[in-house]
Chains A and B, each alone.
Chain A
Amino acid sequence: MDIQRGNIIVMDRRTGKLRAGQGLLQGLKVVWDHWAASFRKNENFTQIRGNFTVEYPDERLQLPQAYRNMPVLLYDDESGHELCTGCYQCQRICPPQVIHITQAKDPVTGKMVPAATEFIIEYDACMSCGFCAEVCPFDSIKMDHVFELSTADHDSLTMRKAQLNRPISYYTSIAPDLWEGVKAGAMKKLQGNIKRRPGVIGMAPSLTEKIKARRQELAEAAAAAPPAAAPAAPAAPAGKLTPEEKAAKLAAMKAANAAKKAGGEAAPAEAPAAELSPADAKAAKLAAIKAANAAKKAGGEAAPAEAPAAELSPADAKAAKLAAIKAANAAKKAAEAAPAVAAPTTGNGTAAPTDEKAARLAAIKAANAAKKAAEQGNNE
């Protein structure tokens, strides 16, 4: 065979110059030289003799910045703002599918909001490929340098958001150059698209201020929320919501959410029930939808509608309160109606119980849910 740019060289076998035993001695000399040199510490990579051993764990090599082991999530040091928007890019690309994200939702509209309520990475199955960090458009997920992760049990390697969160300053300390690159890239993106979500790197200071103020406000509101399910809603004098109002709104929103969820869940629950009467199912769904609407109306629109009135009469406040309570109840009712209908049907195969029964059950459950919601509001 002909080859281009180069030759075929047939390897010489033994030269036959050496007498018996000499080859062995020659090899032994190599080993001897290495042994003799092994007492000298050597870090010069142009040489091949010496002691190159790094006495881990007492000594450690400096890891290169690009080193990747397991992914972590970043948040802003000052504001605590998490960079992740829950865009699912990383979950989608992850080859072994070990990322599980729960997207945050706006309780009123049910629309997605750019944040993740839960973020789980199964470290035990992660293959450290780094794709998640590569695709993240918000530079939220980055590869950590910590590699001593051994545990005695498997479950503790399922990392939740709280365990994954790291401040940006931590990442800049392990990979300063890479972070510079991130900043440069983010700045470019920001200039092109100012809508890019707040709290990200390279954001204008004025925006940071605004977000901080808003955050403060929200925290105060949450702290002031009373434990009752639907507290009074004295309308705000000027556009801004008072804490009580907010709490009311929140409760209403949650109720609406619950209602919606129930609506969503009703469908699969009904599927297995072979003889479910269509009327019941329909009624349940309808109730759910109505309740959701009512809740929305009461919570969402009550406040803005009353806002222009500088001083609200007590009667109005009362009405608002009432509406909120009613809405919450209706929503809960609807929420529980669906499962209540579905469950017994599967048992005996006959028609579902009457709507009245379902409604009553729903009412009880709704009250519970409302309480829970209120508590959550408090905690937040």
Chain B
Amino acid sequence: MIKTEELQINIGPQHPSTHGVFRMLVTVDGETITDLKPVFGYLHRNHEQIAEVNTYLQNMPYTDRLDYFNSMANNHAYAIAVEKLAGIEVPERAEYIRVLMVELTRVLNHAGALGFLINDMGAWQTQLAFGMREREKILDLFESASGARLMCNYFRFGGVVRDLPDDFMPRLKDLLVAMPAFIDELERLLRENEILLQRSEGIGILPRDLAIAYSVTGPVLRASGVAYDVRKAEPYSVYDRFDFDVPVGSVGDVYDRILVRIEEMRQSKRIIEQIIEQLPDAQGGHINPKARQNVRPPVGDVYARVESPKGELGFYLVSDGSTKPYRYKVRAPSFINLTPLGDMCRGYKVADVVVILGSIDIVMGEVDR
């Protein structure tokens, strides 16, 4: 038998599969990984400190830049945190609009994430193009409501910045016709595909206990078999009014993560349909007219969390009674989901690393803040 020497190699920080500037210090024995250390910090831009010199409202567009795929979900978490802190009420209609936007965000995030994951496996661009097509349709809707495709900056304390435009609902309904076709097709393309099975089945297993120990959240946790979803565990906004299921996996490998994400898109579509039904009856306008944007919350601290498409996104704010947060901390799901990467990769091949990383679905803007 040939004896090989252990070798340390760097994957990243400039590497197309690392989803940003992210470095992995990999120790390999031949093709097998014996150790992996994630190295973060290349995209550090002082987000939390900047937030402490800004007023509460001025931070809203900065939260867009955390997980730039899901600006709406980031806005939501931050808005909830400040509203809790300052005691601002949100009208019913605004809550529905918020949830609608966040669920659309979930669909577009998963469509994109699966596309990138398949990309990492080597099916260059095909699935990604299909996912991006659906994503663009949703971004069109975001653009018509908020004015921007990615950096939406749509939420305000006590509601959203403006009501849905007139042509929003018809376009949304068009989109909902296409969505099941897209999801079914995605399943047909991926689910039984032998190459995909080879690359994902039994790869990057994250056992249930380990997932809990690392406080992993989101689809990665659910794929490991834990039915934990902030929307169910601690319903915020109007999530207690909707019927939807929580998909979980049984093994906790890359394949389960793909399946969970596909099913989550279906559930999001269910929620959106219920919103369309209930929205016309919702009370109030798009924003609480009494809510001051220049908030000066009373002294105190607050932690608010939402189920962002990537996991539990939380904001911890401390107010000293001024117009600026005294402390501002983000609990970023991408960051925490990335910590067990070493354990997930140990024992697999080098080629699996990018697939496992892709299956966690990280955005470096959120990891490094």
Contact = CB atoms under 8 A, between A and B. Distances in A.
B153 interface: yes
Contact of A48 (B58, B165, B171, B181): B181
- Across the A-B interface, the 6 shortest Cβ-Cβ residue pairs: A23-B192, A129-B61, A64-B144, A68-B147, A46-B177, A95-B58
A6 B243 contact: yes
Interface in B77-111: none
Interface string A16-49: 0010111110110111001000000000111110
A12 to B, nearest CB: 8
A143 interface: yes
Contacts of A315: none
Contacts of B256: 11, 13
B130 A6 contact: no
A8 B227 contact: yes
Contacts of B7: none
A48 B178 contact: yes
Interface in A86-133: 93, 95, 127-131
Nearest to B229: A3
Contacts of B133: 48, 52
Contacts of A34: 130
A11 B193 contact: no
Given A21-B194, A46-B174, A48-B181, A67 B143 contact: yes
A265 interface: no
Contacts of A64: 143-144, 147, 165
Contacts of B189: 26-27, 30-31
Contacts of B178: 45-48
Interface of A: 1, 3-15, 18, 20-24, 26-27, 29-31, 34, 44-48, 52, 63-68, 93, 95, 127-131, 134, 143
Nearest to A7: B245
Contacts of B225: 10
Interface residues of B, number: 67
Contact of B247 (A4, A11, A45, A128): A11
B257 to A, nearest CB: 10
A44 B175 CA distance: 10
A64 B190 CA distance: 35
Interface of B is mostly: helix
A1 B225 CA distance: 11
Interface string B232-247: 1101000010111111
B197 A23 contact: yes
B249 interface: yes
Interface of B: 54-55, 57-62, 126, 130, 133-134, 136-137, 143-148, 151, 153, 161-162, 165, 171, 174-175, 177-178, 181-182, 185, 188-195, 197, 201, 225-229, 232-233, 235, 240, 242-251, 255-256, 259-260, 263
Given A20-B194, A26-B189, A26-B193, 13 more contacts: A3-B229, A13-B256, A30-B185, A45-B137, A45-B174, A46-B174, A48-B178, A48-B181, A64-B147, A66-B165, A128-B148, A129-B151, A131-B58
6 contacts: A26-B189, A27-B188, A64-B143, A67-B148, A93-B55, A129-B61
Contacts of B145: 66
Contacts of A46: 174, 177-178
A13 to B, nearest CB: 7
B161 A134 contact: yes
B142 to A, nearest CB: 10
Contacts of A11: 247-250, 256, 259-260, 263
A64 B248 CA distance: 39
A48 B245 contact: no
A276 B302 CA distance: 54
B161 A27 contact: no
A143 B146 CA distance: 12
Contacts of A23: 191-194, 197
B182 to A, nearest CB: 5
A8 B246 contact: yes
A12 B263 CA distance: 11
Q: Which one of A1, A14, A26, A48 has the highest number of Cβ atoms from chain B below 10 Å of its Cβ?
A: A48
A11 B224 CA distance: 11
A46 B38 CA distance: 42
B147 A67 contact: yes
A48 B145 CA distance: 23
A14 B191 contact: yes
A93 to B, nearest CB: 7
B365 to A, nearest CB: 14
A48 B225 CA distance: 32
B137 A13 contact: no
A327 B165 CA distance: 61
